[in-house]
Amino acid sequence: MLSLGISKDNIPWCCSCFYCYLPDQNLFVITSDPDTRHIQDFLTGDEGLVAGTIALETKVTGKIRGIQFAGPMHKLTGVELKIAKKEYVKVFPIARLAKLYLWGIEPTILKLTDNRLGFGKKLVWRAPE
């Protein structure tokens, strides 16, 4: 599960989304109806940037793993939409039955926390400028 954070007019809002990741495009793909608050705030905001987290569920401190990310989000169209939809329904076959509104998040910064590498071990990746 991906937790997505949006801010509009300095008012934050978060939501949880199912996602898949397209490594060749460096793209998280989510589906969300355009009428949801988070998409409406995104569409009518002025930045186009989002932030979020993905964390492994565990109560074992030594197994805690997760990422924090930030980057631009956009509605997927054309060839990008076709590729993303194919991959998304591979991960979530039930999604074939739903109307999908797919959005792409291209992280420009990722911070991985992985306690398997040592308590509080963090690795940071930034997109080349």
Which token pair is 103? 């959005």
| Residue 111 near residue 46 (C-beta atoms within 8 A) | no
| pTM metric for this prediction | 0.91
User: Which CATH superfamily is 2-126 part of?
Assistant: Electron Transport, Fmn-binding Protein; Chain A (2.30.110.10)
Per-residue pLDDT at 27:
97
* Separation of alpha carbons 12 and 7, rounded Å: 4
The tens digit of pLDDT for each residue in 65-123 reads 899 999 999 999 999 999 999 999 999 999 999 999 999 999 999 999 888 888 888 88
The percent of residues above 90 in pLDDT, for the chain, comes to 75
Strand partners, 69: 52, 110
